[in-house]
Amino acid sequence: MNAAAAIHPPAAGSPDSEWSGFLDSIIAAFDCTTGTLHRFDPVDNHLKIVASRRIPEVLVPVIKSIPIGKGIAGAAAQRREPVEICNLQTDTSGVAKPGAKQTQVQGSIAVPVLDGERLCGTLGIGKMVPYDFSDDEKTRLMDLAAEAAHVLLPG
Protein backbone atom coordinates (compact mmCIF):
# COMPACT_ATOMS: atom_id res chain seq x y z
CA MET A 1 0.00 0.00 0.00
CA ASN A 2 1.28 3.45 -0.85
CA ALA A 3 2.22 5.76 1.97
CA ALA A 4 -0.45 8.40 1.71
CA ALA A 5 -1.87 11.29 3.64
CA ALA A 6 -4.65 10.52 6.07
CA ILE A 7 -7.88 9.52 4.38
CA HIS A 8 -11.07 10.96 5.82
CA PRO A 9 -14.69 10.54 4.77
CA PRO A 10 -16.75 13.64 4.00
CA ALA A 11 -18.60 15.37 6.83
CA ALA A 12 -22.07 14.24 7.82
CA GLY A 13 -24.68 15.66 5.47
CA SER A 14 -22.21 16.07 2.60
CA PRO A 15 -23.60 15.46 -0.88
CA ASP A 16 -22.81 12.13 -2.54
CA SER A 17 -20.46 13.94 -4.93
CA GLU A 18 -17.99 14.43 -2.07
CA TRP A 19 -17.73 10.67 -1.61
CA SER A 20 -15.89 10.46 -4.94
CA GLY A 21 -12.83 12.13 -3.40
CA PHE A 22 -12.89 9.69 -0.49
CA LEU A 23 -13.06 6.76 -2.91
CA ASP A 24 -10.26 8.24 -5.06
CA SER A 25 -8.04 8.52 -1.97
CA ILE A 26 -8.59 4.88 -1.07
CA ILE A 27 -7.96 3.70 -4.62
CA ALA A 28 -4.68 5.65 -4.67
CA ALA A 29 -3.59 4.51 -1.19
CA PHE A 30 -3.99 0.85 -2.15
CA ASP A 31 -2.45 1.32 -5.62
CA CYS A 32 -5.68 0.21 -7.26
CA THR A 33 -7.45 1.20 -10.47
CA THR A 34 -11.16 0.74 -9.82
CA GLY A 35 -13.49 1.25 -6.91
CA THR A 36 -17.06 1.37 -5.72
CA LEU A 37 -18.80 2.67 -2.63
CA HIS A 38 -22.36 1.58 -1.91
CA ARG A 39 -24.84 2.71 0.77
CA PHE A 40 -27.15 0.13 2.35
CA ASP A 41 -30.85 0.82 1.86
CA PRO A 42 -32.83 -1.14 4.47
CA VAL A 43 -36.10 -0.38 2.65
CA ASP A 44 -35.34 -2.84 -0.16
CA ASN A 45 -32.29 -4.60 1.33
CA HIS A 46 -30.07 -3.40 -1.53
CA LEU A 47 -26.73 -1.62 -1.79
CA LYS A 48 -27.09 1.67 -3.69
CA ILE A 49 -24.12 3.21 -5.52
CA VAL A 50 -22.72 6.39 -4.00
CA ALA A 51 -19.44 6.62 -5.94
CA SER A 52 -17.58 4.58 -8.52
CA ARG A 53 -14.37 4.87 -10.49
CA ARG A 54 -13.38 3.30 -13.79
CA ILE A 55 -16.40 1.01 -14.04
CA PRO A 56 -17.42 0.34 -17.67
CA GLU A 57 -20.59 2.23 -18.66
CA VAL A 58 -22.31 -1.04 -19.56
CA LEU A 59 -21.99 -2.17 -15.91
CA VAL A 60 -23.16 1.05 -14.25
CA PRO A 61 -26.87 0.09 -14.41
CA VAL A 62 -26.00 -3.32 -12.94
CA ILE A 63 -24.10 -1.91 -9.94
CA LYS A 64 -26.56 0.91 -9.14
CA SER A 65 -28.57 -1.40 -6.87
CA ILE A 66 -27.13 -4.70 -5.63
CA PRO A 67 -29.12 -7.18 -3.54
CA ILE A 68 -27.48 -8.31 -0.33
CA GLY A 69 -25.75 -11.63 -1.03
CA LYS A 70 -25.25 -11.05 -4.78
CA GLY A 71 -21.82 -10.43 -6.30
CA ILE A 72 -18.67 -9.49 -4.41
CA ALA A 73 -20.15 -6.42 -2.70
CA GLY A 74 -23.35 -8.21 -1.79
CA ALA A 75 -21.40 -11.15 -0.37
CA ALA A 76 -19.23 -8.82 1.75
CA ALA A 77 -22.38 -7.16 3.09
CA GLN A 78 -24.05 -10.49 3.86
CA ARG A 79 -20.98 -12.06 5.49
CA ARG A 80 -19.91 -8.86 7.28
CA GLU A 81 -16.31 -9.58 6.28
CA PRO A 82 -13.94 -8.92 3.37
CA VAL A 83 -14.55 -10.89 0.19
CA GLU A 84 -11.48 -11.16 -2.00
CA ILE A 85 -10.78 -12.63 -5.42
CA CYS A 86 -7.14 -12.93 -6.46
CA ASN A 87 -7.96 -12.99 -10.18
CA LEU A 88 -11.49 -12.05 -11.15
CA GLN A 89 -10.79 -12.99 -14.76
CA THR A 90 -10.18 -16.65 -13.94
CA ASP A 91 -12.33 -17.01 -10.81
CA THR A 92 -14.73 -19.95 -10.75
CA SER A 93 -16.07 -19.53 -7.19
CA GLY A 94 -19.38 -18.15 -8.39
CA VAL A 95 -19.19 -15.16 -6.02
CA ALA A 96 -18.56 -12.61 -8.77
CA LYS A 97 -21.34 -11.95 -11.23
CA PRO A 98 -20.44 -12.85 -14.85
CA GLY A 99 -20.50 -9.20 -15.98
CA ALA A 100 -17.80 -8.30 -13.45
CA LYS A 101 -15.16 -9.61 -15.85
CA GLN A 102 -15.94 -6.68 -18.14
CA THR A 103 -14.09 -4.43 -15.70
CA GLN A 104 -10.84 -6.19 -16.72
CA VAL A 105 -10.02 -6.16 -12.98
CA GLN A 106 -8.07 -9.10 -11.62
CA GLY A 107 -7.24 -8.58 -7.91
CA SER A 108 -10.46 -7.48 -6.21
CA ILE A 109 -11.75 -6.97 -2.68
CA ALA A 110 -14.96 -5.68 -1.14
CA VAL A 111 -15.44 -4.95 2.55
CA PRO A 112 -18.57 -4.15 4.50
CA VAL A 113 -18.97 -0.63 5.86
CA LEU A 114 -19.98 -1.33 9.45
CA ASP A 115 -20.95 0.85 12.40
CA GLY A 116 -20.47 -1.79 15.07
CA GLU A 117 -22.79 -4.56 13.84
CA ARG A 118 -24.93 -2.18 11.74
CA LEU A 119 -24.44 -2.52 7.98
CA CYS A 120 -24.05 0.88 6.33
CA GLY A 121 -22.72 -0.16 2.90
CA THR A 122 -19.74 -1.67 1.12
CA LEU A 123 -16.42 -0.47 -0.23
CA GLY A 124 -14.68 -2.26 -3.09
CA ILE A 125 -11.39 -1.75 -4.90
CA GLY A 126 -9.60 -3.59 -7.67
CA LYS A 127 -6.25 -3.97 -9.41
CA MET A 128 -5.54 -4.81 -13.03
CA VAL A 129 -3.16 -7.60 -11.98
CA PRO A 130 -3.75 -10.77 -9.94
CA TYR A 131 -3.34 -9.83 -6.29
CA ASP A 132 -3.85 -11.22 -2.81
CA PHE A 133 -4.50 -8.43 -0.32
CA SER A 134 -2.46 -8.85 2.87
CA ASP A 135 -4.08 -9.12 6.30
CA ASP A 136 -2.73 -5.63 7.06
CA GLU A 137 -4.34 -4.24 3.89
CA LYS A 138 -7.65 -5.89 4.73
CA THR A 139 -7.54 -4.46 8.25
CA ARG A 140 -6.68 -0.98 6.96
CA LEU A 141 -9.51 -1.12 4.40
CA MET A 142 -11.98 -2.28 7.06
CA ASP A 143 -10.80 0.55 9.35
CA LEU A 144 -11.28 3.14 6.59
CA ALA A 145 -14.74 1.75 5.88
CA ALA A 146 -15.63 1.91 9.58
CA GLU A 147 -14.53 5.57 9.71
CA ALA A 148 -17.06 6.32 6.98
CA ALA A 149 -19.90 4.26 8.46
CA HIS A 150 -21.44 6.86 10.74
CA VAL A 151 -21.71 9.44 7.94
CA LEU A 152 -22.50 7.19 4.98
CA LEU A 153 -26.16 6.62 5.78
CA PRO A 154 -28.47 9.61 5.52
CA GLY A 155 -30.20 10.78 8.70
Tell me the pLDDT of the chain (155 aa) as tens digits: 444 457 888 877 677 778 999 999 999 999 999 999 999 999 999 999 999 999 888 888 989 999 999 999 999 999 999 999 988 888 888 787 777 777 778 889 999 999 999 999 999 999 999 999 999 999 999 999 999 998 887 55
The secondary structure of the chain in percent helix, strand, coil, rounded to multiples of 5, reads 35, 25, 40
Q: How far is CA 100 from CA 31, 77, 127, in A?
A: 20, 17, 13
Asked whether 93 and 82 are in contact (CB, 8 A), the reply is no
For the chain, which domains are there? Answer: 16-152 (3.30.450.40)
Global confidence as pTM: 0.91
